[in-house]
Amino acid sequence: MLGHYPPKHCSRPFGNCNSGNSHREPYVAAHNMIMSHAAAVDNYKRNYQATQGGSIGIVIAMKWYEPLTNSTEDILAARQALSFEVDWFLDPLFFGDYPREMREMLSSNLPKFTSEEKRLLQNKADFIGVNHYTAIYAKDCVSSPCDLKSYEGNALVQAVGERDGVAIGRPTAFHGYYDVPEGMELIVKYVSQRYENTPVYVTENGEWQGRAIRNSQCVQKNA
């Protein structure tokens, strides 16, 4: 993984930075984010929820992954890609630990939850917010050569937009993103079924047009 913003850490093959470890640091950062969320949920539920009657949840950006082919390897690759994108953040919040696929593949590069952290994780989110913009094909990289410079590479999966020269959906103005309406239905079903029918809200969806929208396109002026 490549850090685009300060402190701009990375390591090869993901980039050429002055310092960093792309195989471990992203998981440490994510671990701290998960525990920050857990602490906020714990504080809200103990001190405010009963009187305010509010809900507290988490929003995750997530693609839908389709196997590039019907091979067992690509089917497994699609599952692993979801694990490294969706389950990575939600499994700890609902099941108390990282998904099995990540624990097995990353070993010591993946932080472990302490007993105190697991106590905080017992406070489940009241809802899950889904930011979804595209579906993509998942290609297995265990038994076939791949370019593993994207973050999916840590799952030994390559995300590709075309199968036999045909795009998975209508290409949008944002490189690598495609208009695949069924992807929204599939990812919402996946999240709902995996996480005990926790309420799911679509918090982001849409398409970047790649150009400014003139006021005349949005506002009808009075004659």
User: What pLDDT, in 10s, does the model give residues 136-177?
Assistant: 999 999 988 887 666 566 789 999 999 999 999 999 999 999
Does residue 207 carry a pLDDT above 90?
A: no
* Predicted local distance difference test score (pLDDT) of residue 33: 97
* Predicted local distance difference test score (pLDDT) of residue 93: 97
Q: Catalytic site residue 204?
A: yes
Does residue 215 carry a pLDDT above 90?
A: no
Q: Which of 165, 144, 169 is nearest to 63 (CA)?
A: 169
Q: Are 142 and 152 in contact (CB under 8 A)?
A: no
* Predicted local distance difference test score (pLDDT) of residue 44: 98
Top-confidence residue, 123 or 167: 167
User: If you average pLDDT over residues 90-117, what whole number do you get?
Assistant: 97
The pair of structure tokens assigned to 14 is 């993901």
Q: Which of 156, 159, 160 is nearest to 23 (CA)?
A: 156
pLDDT tens-digit series, residues 51-98: 999 999 999 999 999 999 999 999 999 999 999 999 999 999 999 999
Confidence of residue 214 (pLDDT cuts 50, 70, 90): low
Q: List the end-to-end C-alpha distance of the chain, in Å, as a whole number.
A: 54
pLDDT tens-digit series, residues 6-26: 666 777 666 777 788 888 999
Q: Which 8-state DSSP code applies to residue 41?
A: H
User: If you average pLDDT over residues 122-147, what whole number do you get?
Assistant: 94
Strand partners, 161: none
The pair of structure tokens assigned to 151 is 């973050």
Q: Is this structure's pTM higher than 0.75?
A: yes
Instruction: Give me the sign of the Cα torsion angle 52, 94, 156, 8.
Output: positive
Catalytic residue among 162, 182, 185, 204: 204
* Cα dist from 179 to 63, 78, 79, 193, whole Å: 12, 19, 21, 24
* Predicted local distance difference test score (pLDDT) of residue 16: 72
Confidence of residue 116 (pLDDT cuts 50, 70, 90): very high
∠ Cα 40 41 42 (to 5°): 90
- Nearest-10 crossing angle of helices 88-95, 25-47: 40
Domain boundaries, the chain: 56-204
* Predicted local distance difference test score (pLDDT) of residue 155: 86
β-pairing, 170-171 vs 178-179, is antiparallel
